[in-house]
Amino acid sequence: MVDLNNLPINSKFAYKVTISNKDIQPPSYDALTAENCYQGVFETKNKNAAITSFVFGSCCHFSLLGVNKADDAAFKSILEQWEDGTRQDDLLLMLGDQIYGDHGHGKSILSKVMGIRIPMLFLPKPKIFLTFKHFLKHYYRAFRKENKRKIMATIPTYMTFDDHEVHNDWGSNKFLTKRRDYKILSAGLKAYNLYQVSHPSIITPEILIPSRNDIMAGVTLPEAKYYYQFAHGNSGFFINGYTIQ
């Protein structure tokens, strides 16, 4: 167990992360290389500093990787500003739609036809394919971007969801009308809890699949408070996610 409390302020720390079998002793720190671990550097700041600098954004459609890499280019520009000393940020806010789970990836025979690929990225994917595995694949593609990974590994990252982490406008009464819709909600929130929830004060219950009779009678979803607050120096933040009740 590594104790990250009470680290000296205004200091940089290099770290390496690897995964090993519980029955096998992992390699020593010095023996770990870029081939068998993830390496990064983070810097501790004076949390009582008067000025807090942060970056925020939302609506990152990962499928644009195959078109112009526009999504990761935004993170690259942030890194370049850090490297040339133009700015240095304390935290990153990712405010919803980090994946478009209700869309496909735009990769098919038709996507090779000029003028077809980009429109295909934004076509809703049939609900029958919106499984837990489908959502996990979207997160894997979205969070594996080189520049995004570097930023998330360097400064604290706070997240909340919007609708496309599950389905467009899923919070409306028009979406949850069939058992299939509840399966999609359950799968999407389960994947969200794995990839984006990082605050222990957030309640993340499992969404059970109601019967058809329950749906007809009106289903009450379990309470889930996805909002939270935190402070950095003299700045306070309240992240207002969905409240399921």
Distances (CA, A) of 120 to 72, 111, 113, 116, 177: 20, 7, 11, 6, 26
Dihedral sign, CA of 191, 79, 238, 232?
positive
**107 backbone dihedrals φ, ψ, rounded to 5°:** -105, 105
Token pair 């023996």 in the structure block, residue: 31
Contacts of 112 (CB under 8 A, 6+ apart): none
What is the rounded distance in angstroms from the CA atom of residue 29 to the CA atom of residue 45?
Answer: 25
Answer whether residue 72 shows pLDDT above 80.
yes
Question: CA-based angle 212:217:220, to the nearest 5?
Answer: 95
Name the average pLDDT for the chain.
81
Q: pLDDT digit string (tens) for 83-120?
A: 998 888 989 999 989 988 888 765 555 555 656 656 66
Residue 19 is predicted with a pLDDT of 80
Residue 65 is predicted with a pLDDT of 45
- Say which amino acid occupies 55: V
Confidence of residue 231 (pLDDT cuts 50, 70, 90): confident
The share of the chain scoring above pLDDT 70, in percent, equals 82
Domain residue ranges of the chain, discontinuous segments joined by +: 11-244
Answer whether residue 82 shows pLDDT above 90.
yes
Residue 59 in contact with residue 96, Cβ under 8 Å?
yes
- Say which amino acid occupies 53: S
What is the rounded distance in angstroms from the CA atom of residue 106 to the CA atom of residue 62?
Answer: 11
Q: pLDDT digit string (tens) for 33-46?
A: 888 888 888 877 76
What is the rounded average pLDDT of the residues 177-189? Answer: 90
Higher pLDDT pick, 63 / 77 = 77
Residue 124 is predicted with a pLDDT of 74
Instruction: Find, among 160, 147, 232, 234, the residue nearest to 199 by Cα.
Output: 160
C-alpha atoms less than 13 angstroms from C-alpha of 199 in its C-beta half-sphere: 17
pTM of the model as a whole: 0.77
Q: pLDDT digit string (tens) for 127-150?
A: 888 999 999 988 988 888 889 989
